[in-house]
Each structure stands twice: as C-alpha cells, then as structure tokens.
Amino acid sequence: MASERVAGEAPAGLAPDRVLAALGSSERGLPAAEVAARLERYGRNRIDEPPGRPAILDLLAQFASPMAVLMWVAGVIAVSAGLLQLGLAVFAVVLVNGAFGYWQEYRAERATQELRKMLSQRAVVLRDGAEVEVATEDLVPGDLLRLSEGERIGADARLVASSDLRVDQSTLTGESRPVHKSPAAIAHVRRAPLQSNMVFAGTSVVAGDGWAAVTATGMATELGRIAHLTQSVEEGASPLQRELGRLTRELSILSLSMGALYFVVAVLFVGQSGVAAFVFALAMIVAFIPEGLLPTVTLSLAIAVQRMARRNALVKKLSSVETLGCTTVICSDKTGTLTQNEMTVTRVWLPGCGYAVEGRGYAPVGSVVLDGVPRDAATDRPLGRLFEAA
C-alpha cells in the first residue's frame, strides 16, 4: 500500500507549533491505537521492490538466448544426421553454459539480498509520552522521531526542535557537504531537498540532534519517488547481446545456405543419393556452428565479474560487465559542490577558430569575442550556425 502525506498544507511552511496539529499528533506522540490504524492505512514504511521473476524462469532464460537456441537446433540437426555423439556434446555445452551463467547471477543476487538485510535499521520515537525503539518499517505519519548524530533517517519528517542539526543529503542531491537544519518555518516553500526544516528518508545525521514529525513514509518519501523512477526504467539489450543476436542471424543464414549448396552439389555433380546428400548437408550445417563461442563468452564475462568482485564491485548480470567495458564517456554531476549552480561557457571552439565568451552566471551581459573583436551571430556564419544547432 502506498503511503501519502497527511498534512493538507505543506509542512515546511507551517510554524513548528502547528505541525503536530496538522499531522494529527501531539507532543506526547501517537497513542498505540492510532499507530495501528495509521499503519493499516498508510502501509509499512519501506520501498516497494518490483516483483522478481521465479528462479525457474531465470534459469530457462539462460537457455533461450539467440545463440543458445541456434546451438539447440544444431544439436537436433546433428542427432537427426546420425551424429549422436556430436549432438550430445552440443547439448552438454548449452546445459553447462546455462547452468554456469545462472549460478554466477544467482550468487550476485544473493549478495545483493544480504546487503539489503544490512540496511535494516531501527528508530527511536515518542509514543504515549514514552521513548520507544521501533523498526523503521513501523514508522507512520505523525510519529515524533528522535534524530541523533550518526543515525540514518528512516522517513521524511518536519523538524519541530533541533540543536545544531546538520544532515548529509548526498543520497538525494549529490551534495557532499552537510546541510544545516532548523525548525523555523520557511516563507517560500522550495523543492524538497532545499527545505531547511525538513529531513528526508535515506539521509543521515552528521552532527547535532533534534525531534521531527514524520510527514511521509514508504513510496511517498522523496527516496521512494526516486526509487519509482529507477524501477520504471526499461531494461534493454547490452551491446554484446545485440552483437551476438546479429552474429546468430548471420551464422544461421550462412550455415543454411552452405548446407543447401552442398546438398545441390552432392546430388547434381557428385551423384550421391538424396538421403546421403541430405545427411551430408546436415553435417555441414552443424559444422558451421561455433559451439565454443557461447561458453567462451560466458567464461570471459564470469572472469570479469570475479575481478570486479575483488575490487568490491557487485555485478548482478554478466552482460553488465561488457556494457561497462563499452563505456567511452562518463558524465558526472556534482551540482553545488564544484559549479555553485552556475555552469558558464567561457570558450567555444569551431573548425579553424576559437571564441572567448564574456560574462558570468545567468546575467545576460557579455559578448562573444574572436581575436579581441566582438562577433555577432547575425554576421558571423559559423557562430550563427552553432547557435542555430544549439
């Protein structure tokens, strides 16, 4: 069940003494009966995970890739042509390769699950006038949450009291420097991470302490919204998977074409019977299938996964390693830390010339200068075409 915010008015804009009333709480916290009712209404305070596929489907997927299907067909053709040993060898390669690939990804999934267990935490809240320690999953909107140095915050909450409280919000903003928080109301409610009287799930207390009233839990938190965005991303084929798919199509066409050609030559020019020529053509088709390619690729990726693991990097899918290997440019953004929110162009290079750009920040003041002379996009054709493209 998705959670929701209970305050009709933005909590950040309320005075501290009005926050608890807006959330249906009090300075003594929530009574046990109200906690149970809100837990039923808003659900557990946890990030929903997309439903996983049954393990049997993950296993079968290892045997259903284009190259694996081609090898299954090659094995059937080999058996049909009377090459029983070759056919069984091909089947064995596919089975061993699929089982090995599944085992590698299963181990990575188990490691990920263990990491999730390590993230489980507890929180101290005020209920019925007494401080109690509860599982973070049991937090509900309206709970009075105690914030202490070194603790990870389990829900979005509005500060009602604090003492030199500073919070690390890098999980939400990428900003590495701690942010000072205070319970004072803010006149102009800005976007969530910039609200100085709000703390958010997934962030942590760097210094100070305080009390905050929970305003949102589960998927209604800012962290939950980010999780929803990441979960809605569709998974596409990796560059290697696309290449193997293309290679499989080309090999299929090539092997079938050569088999047909050998069949025609054997019947018309060698004088073999149709049955013998057909068996010979089937054997040639199988011979064109590179049985060692699939296990070679899988083994190479598995070795890469192990090397990443030794560097404390967890890879869930074998194909992810190859995708990382194809990366040529990494774009990183540390807004506020390095750029102070003012990304400014200072130089522009075009074929045969380089322009200097004057001005700073967002003020529309400055010129584009070439060799000390201001240039106008209306008369400078290269510069005009650049602006048109941009």
DSSP of 162-211, one letter per residue?
A: EEEEEEE-HHHH---S-EEE-----SS---GGG-TTEE-TT-EEEEEEEE
Alpha helices in 9-65 (DSSP H): 16-22, 32-42, 55-61
Between 273 and 116, the more confident residue is 273
Q: Which one of 208, 229, 250 terminates a domain?
A: 229
Q: Residue 54 — pLDDT band, cuts 50, 70, 90?
A: confident
Cβ-count burial of 275 within 10 angstroms (0-12 exposed, 13-18 middle, 19+ buried)? Answer: exposed
Q: Which one of 187, 214, 229 terminates a domain?
A: 229
- Domain co-membership, 23 together with 158: yes
pLDDT of residue 2: 43
- Domain co-membership, 225 together with 358: no
**194: containing domain:** 11-45+139-229
Q: Among this protein's residues, is 58 annotated catalytic?
A: no
- Domain co-membership, 35 together with 184: yes
Which phi-psi region, left, alpha or beta, contains residue 65 (left: φ > 0; alpha: ψ -120 to 50)? Answer: beta
Tally of domains in the chain: 2
d(CA 198, CA 214): 10
Q: Which one of 229, 253, 273 terminates a domain?
A: 229
Catalytic residue selected from 17, 128, 164, 333:
333
134 belongs to a structural domain: no
306 belongs to a structural domain: no
Share of the chain above pLDDT 70, in %: 87
Domain with residue 18: its CATH number is 2.70.150.10
107 belongs to a structural domain: no
Q: What is the three-class DSSP state of 125?
A: strand
334 belongs to a structural domain: no
85 belongs to a structural domain: no
- pLDDT (mean) for 125-147: 91
105 belongs to a structural domain: no
260 belongs to a structural domain: no
Q: Is the pTM of this model over 0.75?
A: no
- Domain co-membership, 23 together with 150: yes
Maximum mean pLDDT: which of 73-87, 161-175, 316-330, 334-348: 161-175
Among all chains, which residue has been given the structure tokens 């069940």?
1
Chain centroid to CA 327:
16
245 belongs to a structural domain: no
